[in-house]
Chain A
Amino acid sequence: MAGSLAASAFFPGPGSSPAASARSSMNATGELPDNLSVRGIVAKPNPPPASMQVKAQAQTLPKVNGTKVNLKTVNPDMEETVPHSAPKTFYNQLPDWSMLLAAITTIFLAAEKQWTLLDWKPKKPDMLVDTFGFGSIIQDGMVFRQNFMIRSYEIGADRTASIETLMNHLQETALNHVRTAGLLGDGFGATPEMSKRNLIWVVSKIQLLVEQYPAWGETVQVDTWVAAAGKNGMRRDWHVRDYYSGRTILRATSVWVMMHKKTRRLSKMPDEVRAEIGPYFNDCSAITEEQSEKLAKTGNKVGDDATEQFIRKGLTPRWGDLDVNQHVNNVKYIGWILEVSAPISVLEKHELASMTLDYRKECGRDSVLQSLTTVSGECTSIGTDKQASSIQCDHLLQLESGADIVKARTQWRPKRPHTTAGNA
């Protein structure tokens, strides 16, 4: 229905004027619809060539929001068909290229606007331009890809995206993957078969390796996929790249366990759930085993070579920190951990290179937490750079009453000058 509305707005019947068709499609507030007034150009009355019209309607599919919506550049198709409909003589002048340009622009922009609301099967999946950010499944269903542009409020004082922003994107793609695959049960953490049994996924561990931080206005492309983790767990990996240059921004891996919502006890994976998600298991690893071990090594102890300890007490969740279950969102913990990780003088010169998080217990609105950090001086950094002055920290976020919420280990490297996408 939406599609035909577009078609009628743009291809008014012969003899009708743009104003007439505009009046008929005015919306509730009495404004002319955007597609007419904003663009200002309407192909003058003339029925479109059959090929164009068929094209517009072919894209009308019932679903508006949610499943498998994505966009592609329609350049090749548009340019093929439109020239056939080069305006002939409905202007009192010879057809000239600016008219053609106008027609093409109008059609494209209008169609684009409608396509954002419709299902759209990609013809060239690898060249998808995910204009609205719904994301799409690629590689025969094994990987989900979504793009994000870094917004002004997502950056820190140094104009690059904060680690929380990046982790928020990871969380969003994970959910969109599940939703697009049709596996979203109740709430955010379960498949339909899991919801039936009151089971939810709970994150137990996350590891990330950051290679560079994107800046304001840049676009990142996030790929995510799932795999098995042992017999009853699930692993979800992400690979984030700069959209233009393809350079890696970060790699991450996470392990999830299944828990009963009411009893909060761990559960085995039922066969029905395995049947649901098994087909999506993709053996790829964003972070290799050796890298993973290196990140997590030297274990949990706050060692004797510790140089400095910091503590911050009285941390409380704000309303905005809570998810739909009134638990603190995973990503917020990172903010608390980093609040107190090192003196400002150190942080200003360093950036987070890697982080390993072990989630132990959840906390809610009434929790009061404290964050402890032990900074343990220099170490050989991971990755390709051999920088002498890297810093390693061990973190513990716990309730003031004692229980551990999150244990983390971070590695920091001196800040590098940010290279923009074009220079990469």
Chain B
Amino acid sequence: MLRCHTPPQCRPAVGAGAVLMRRREMAARCCAAPRVSGVEAASAVEGGGGEKRTTTMAERLRMGSLLEDGLSYKESFIVRCYEVGINKTATVETIANLLQEVGCNHAQSVGFSTDGFATTTTMRKLGLIWVTNRMHIEIYKYPAWGDVVEIETWCQEDGRIGTRRDWILKDLANGEVIGRATSKWVMMNQNTRRLQRVSDEVRDEVFVHCPKTPRLAFPEENNGSLKKIPILTDPAQHSRLGLVPRRADLDMNQHVNNVTYIGWVLESIPQDIIDSHELQTITLDYRRECQHDDIVDSLTYIEEGEEKSSNGSAFAAPHPEEQRQFLHCLRFAGNGDEINRGRTVWRKLAR
């Protein structure tokens, strides 16, 4: 059984007032975020002492909130019709967008910057930003149009130089875990573009909001999120060349959005796999950034002879024979420098 964070015991009633104070405090921090402007509607609850506790409409509409202990954040989303792909289920890009969205909202709700960089005060002083190093997503059951997905996310330290953010996705209707994801981030100096250690100052700012004991979305040993992706030198079996960023692929900082890379990786998967299989796992190692004028080649290599299934955890695909596994490389068309490396695992669709 997957061991997740055990929530604290229910507080005794005496503490109820204190807990509510905490929620009020968190709501206030959300309100302070510049983007939540406008009218704050009075919430359902009014204290008798004349104090108005406000939940902003935005907060309630977003249905996202820090969990009681403040260490993780949960939000729910309905899958919209245009987020659904050829299989009538949400695309993996949709899922990745939602993971990004909930990560963003979490960072905001604990007071990180809202400029898209999610930085702390010290980081901004020193010109430091977070950069994604690796992204690993596993999806066991894709949600369909109209389904509600509940995503919980938290972050924590990862060694000396980085941080990790984990997610668990559940189908809100039945509480079933439909996916898990984890990502690694490192700090980089915005100007020199060099990596930097997480200093104690920053650590204090960031990790006060994180679980103190490690909590992993992938706690099992030797799980897919830890597997290395080798350098690929042989000629690729499949490729799609000349991919170009669209305007919509650029994020607020004029770099190609992390999620676009997933789309590019999928571009060079052969049609017969897309028609007969469903993406179960994708791992991406980010190496270089890409901008509007770049041209990208997407290469796919069949990965053979690897241990195909995870070690019997409850979430693995049933039989290795029904799985296909590929390694990927995204590189600049011009000089061949690597942008991303990836691995995908596909399971056969039950058609």
Residues A87-129 near B (CB distance < 8 A) = 91, 93, 97-102, 104-105, 108, 116-117, 129
Interchain CB contact under 8 A, B67 and A156? no
Which residues from B are CB-within-8-Å of A32? 7
In the bound complex, what is the Cα–Cα distance between A171 and B263 (angstroms)?
A: 22
Q: Say yes or no for A138: interface residue by CB 8 A criterion.
A: no
Provide the bound-state CA to CA distance between A188 and B173, in Å: 23
> Would you give the 0/1 interface string for A33-56, flagging 1 where the beta carbon is closer than 8 Å to chain B?
110111111101000000000000
Contact B61 A41 (CB under 8 A): no
Check B37–A40 contact: CB distance below 8 A: no
Collect the chain B residues with CB atoms within 8 Å of residue A217's CB: 33, 35-36, 58
Q: Which B residue sits closest to A424, measured CB to CB?
A: B38
Which of B74-82, B120-128, B224-232, B319-327 lies at the binding interface? B74-82
Interface 9-residue window, one of B86-94, B194-202, B208-216, B280-288: B86-94
* Min distance, Cβ A70 to any Cβ of chain B, angstroms: 12
Question: B residues within 8 A CB of A411?
Answer: none
Cα A168 to Cα B80 with chains together (Å)? 9
| Residue contact B4 to A108, C-beta cutoff 8 Å | no
Q: Which residue of B lies closest to A176 (CB)?
A: B81
| Complex contacts, A164 vs chain B, CB 8 Å | 248
Contacting pair A41 B49 (CB below 8 A): no
Within 8 A of A (CB), among B39-55: 39, 42-49, 53
Chain A residues lying within 8 Å of B36, measured Cβ to Cβ, are: 217
Determine if A339 and B246 form an interchain contact, defined as CB atoms under 8 angstroms apart: yes
Is B20 on the interface with A (CB-CB < 8 A)?
yes
B316 at the interface (CB under 8 A from A): no
Nearest B residue to A102, CB-CB:
B16
Chain A interface: which of B96-104, B131-139, B183-191, B340-348?
B96-104
Q: Judge if B329 is at the interface, Cβ distance under 8 Å.
A: no
> CB distance B13 to A244 under 8 Å?
no
Instruction: Please tell me if the beta carbons of A132 and B39 are within 8 angstroms of each other in the complex.
Output: no
The interface on chain A, measured as residues whose beta carbon lies within 8 A of the other chain's beta carbons, has a size of 90
Query: A134: shortest Cβ distance to chain B, in Å?
Result: 7
A326 interfacial contact with B, CB 8 Å? yes
Q: Judging by beta carbons under 8 Å apart, are B45 and A108 in contact? A: yes
A133 within 8 A of B: yes
Chain A residues within an 8 Å CB radius of B100: 152-153
Name B249-288 residues within 8 Å CB distance of A: 250-252, 254, 257, 259, 263, 266-267, 274
CB pair B173 A243 closer than 8 Å: no
A322–B247 CB distance below 8 A? no
Contact B76–A132 (Cβ < 8 Å): yes
Q: What distance in Å separates the Cβ of A326 from its nearest Cβ neighbour in chain B?
A: 6
Contact B4 A172 (CB under 8 A): no
Other-chain residue from B6, B39, B85, B88 in contact with A319 (beta carbon distance below 8 A) = B85
Chain A residue with the shortest CB-CB distance to B22: A40
B19 at the interface (CB under 8 A from A): yes
Among A22, A74, A175, A322, point to the contact of B44 (Cβ < 8 A).
Answer: A74
- Decide: B39 and A422 in contact? CB cutoff 8 A: yes
Chain A residues near B251 (CB-CB < 8 A) = 153, 157
Q: Which of A23-31, A255-263, A352-360, A387-395 contacts B (4 or more CB under 8 A)?
A: A23-31
B11→A338 contact, CB < 8 A: no
Judging by beta carbons under 8 Å apart, are A149 and B61 in contact?
Answer: yes
Are B8 and A28 closer than 8 Å at their CB atoms?
Answer: no
**Residue B2 at the A interface, CB < 8 A?**
yes
How many inter-chain residue pairs (CB < 8 Å) link A and B?
210
What count of chain B residues pass the 8 Å CB interface test? 80
Q: Which of B81, B100, B148, B177 has the largest count of A CB atoms less than 10 A from its CB?
A: B81
Do residues B175 and A175 form an inter-chain contact, with CB atoms below 8 A?
no
Q: A153 vs B62: C-alpha distance in the bound complex, in angstroms?
A: 15
A172-B82 in contact (CB<8A)? yes
* Cβ-defined partner of B20 (8 Å) among A44, A105, A218, A319: A105
Contact A64/B173 with A98-B17, A159-B252 known, Cβ cut-off 8 Å: yes
**Chain B residues within 8 Å of A266, by CB:** none
Q: Is B349 an interface residue (CB 8 A)?
A: no
Nearest CB of chain B from residue A185's CB, rounded to whole Å: 15
Contacts of B172 in A (CB 8 A): 116-117
A147 touches B61 (CB 8 A): yes
In the complex, whether B219 has a CB less than 8 A from a CB of chain A is no
Residue B147 interfacial (CB < 8 Å): yes
A229 at the binding interface (Cβ < 8 Å): no
Q: Which residues of chain B are near A105, meaning CB under 8 Å?
A: 20, 23, 44-45
Q: Which residue of B lies closest to A37 (CB)?
A: B7
Q: Report the nearest B residue to A98, measured CB to CB.
A: B17
Q: Which residue of B20, B63, B173, B267 contacts A65 across the interface (Cβ within 8 Å)?
A: B173
Question: Shortest beta-carbon distance, B18 to chain A, in Å?
Answer: 9
- Tell whether, in the assembled complex, residue B61 and residue A40 are in contact, meaning their CB atoms are under 8 Å apart: no
Q: A41-B19, A149-B61 are in contact. List 19 more A-B contacts (CB 8 A).
A: A29-B1, A32-B7, A33-B175, A38-B67, A75-B43, A79-B44, A102-B19, A130-B61, A152-B105, A153-B97, A217-B36, A218-B35, A319-B263, A319-B266, A320-B93, A323-B86, A324-B86, A324-B88, A421-B38
The residues of A with any CB-CB pair to B shorter than 8 Å are: 18-19, 22, 27-34, 36-42, 44, 64-66, 73-75, 78-79, 91, 93, 97-102, 104-105, 108, 116-117, 129-134, 147, 149, 151-153, 155-157, 159, 162, 164, 168, 171-172, 175-176, 179, 188, 215-219, 243-245, 314, 318-320, 322-324, 326, 329, 331, 335-336, 338-339, 420-423
Which B positions have Cβ atoms within 8 angstroms of A?
1-4, 6-11, 13-14, 16-17, 19-20, 23, 33, 35-39, 42-49, 53, 57-58, 60-63, 67-68, 74, 76, 78, 80-82, 84-86, 88, 91, 93, 97, 100-101, 104-105, 116, 146-148, 172-173, 175-177, 242, 246-248, 250-252, 254, 257, 259, 263, 266-267, 274
| Across the A-B interface, the 6 shortest Cβ-Cβ residue pairs | A37-B7, A98-B17, A421-B38, A217-B35, A97-B48, A102-B16
